[in-house]
């Protein structure tokens, strides 16, 4: 009996040694931003960002925000929350939201984030940028534990902005270079302002406005545009890029361009 126990003990030690030596003892993980930390309004969203002590944030590099713009023929009032509202704006918006939802479901234990960026790029969601600022620096380590606010003004010509703790506002801009970017957006300024070049169906191509979804239903002309956004944390361990589970941060109407 003693001999059998000794053999079993040695076998267990060998298994543990194999796990350690193969590097499987380290589970690479960055915690998500909880839904309760995201306060979505009609024209803005406030996000309480995790602190440096949050699980997995020893790997943290920066937060990233994915966006996609949707053409629409309606101008609803109030916060966009329901499936019917999303469908009324643009059926593609509701379809994308429903497809992405399983990856944002914080009650799920089976979400795989290893290919997060590619999964968003495949739906033509791209990374938000800022005018004259490197967004990865703005949303880097200095953003941890702070309050991030993104505002889409209802005033025509007023630029949508991002700020931390109510300090310097940074002007939002659409993607133009980087992974998955092969298009040249119109208009050239790339602002998040409703403009004829953005809601022009002829520009909704992979070469021009790949970040804009056309609307198949044509009973109403395209006159408005909306943006849907998600945020995630990203980091790195050696050569491995790590992503947190993404969090939905709202759908907002773009202000009119002057």
Any idea which residue has 């089976």 for tokens? 110
How far apart, in whole angstroms, are the C-alpha atoms of residue 249 and residue 67?
10
What domain range includes position 200? Answer: 27-253
The answer to whether residue 4 sits within a structural domain is no
CA distances (Å), 152 to each of 99, 156, 168, 194, in order? 25, 10, 16, 11
pLDDT given at position 177: 67
The answer to whether residue 18 sits within a structural domain is no
Question: Which pTM value belongs to this model?
Answer: 0.88
The answer to whether residue 240 sits within a structural domain is yes
pLDDT given at position 27: 63
Q: What own/partner pairs with CB < 8 Å and gap ≥ 24 does 78-87 have? A: 78/42, 79/40, 79/41, 79/42, 80/226, 80/250, 80/251, 80/252, 86/251
Q: Tokens at residue 194, please?
A: 């409703």
The answer to whether residue 12 sits within a structural domain is no
The answer to whether residue 20 sits within a structural domain is no
Q: What is the pLDDT of residues 73-95, one digit of tens each?
A: 998 778 999 999 999 999 999 99
Q: Tokens at residue 93, please?
A: 């918006």
The answer to whether residue 2 sits within a structural domain is no
Domain count of the chain? 1
pLDDT higher than 90, residue 218: no
pLDDT higher than 50, residue 136: yes
Q: What is the pLDDT of residues 220-257, one digit of tens each?
A: 889 999 999 999 999 998 888 999 999 999 999 999 99
């Amino acid at each position: 009996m003693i001999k059998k126990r000794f053999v079993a003990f040695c076998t267990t030690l060998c298994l543990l040694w194999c796990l350690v030596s193969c590097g499987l003892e380290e589970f690479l993980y960055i915690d998500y931003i909880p839904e309760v930390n995201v306060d979505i309004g009609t024209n803005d969203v406030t996000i309480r960002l995790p602190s440096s002590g949050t699980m997995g944030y020893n790997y943290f590099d920066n937060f990233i925000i994915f966006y996609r713009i949707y053409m629409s023929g309606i101008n609803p009032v109030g916060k966009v929350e329901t499936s019917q509202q999303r469908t009324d704006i643009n059926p593609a918006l509701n379809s994308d939201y429903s497809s992405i939802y399983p990856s944002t479901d914080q009650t799920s234990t089976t979400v795989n984030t290893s290919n997060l960026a590619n999964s968003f790029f495949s739906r033509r969601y791209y990374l938000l940028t800022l005018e004259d600022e490197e967004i990865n620096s703005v949303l880097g380590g200095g953003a941890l534990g702070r309050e991030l606010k993104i505002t889409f003004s209802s005033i025509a010509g007023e630029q949508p902005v991002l700020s931390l703790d109510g300090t310097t506002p940074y002007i939002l801009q659409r993607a133009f270079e980087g992974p998955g970017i092969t298009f040249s957006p119109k208009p050239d300024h790339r602002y998040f302002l409703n403009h004829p070049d953005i809601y022009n169906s002829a520009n909704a191509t992979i070469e021009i406005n790949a970040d804009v979804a056309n609307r198949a239903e044509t009973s109403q002309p395209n006159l408005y545009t909306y943006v849907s956004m998600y945020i995630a944390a990203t980091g790195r361990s050696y050569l491995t890029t790590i992503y947190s589970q993404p969090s939905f941060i709202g759908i907002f109407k773009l202000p009119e361009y002057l």
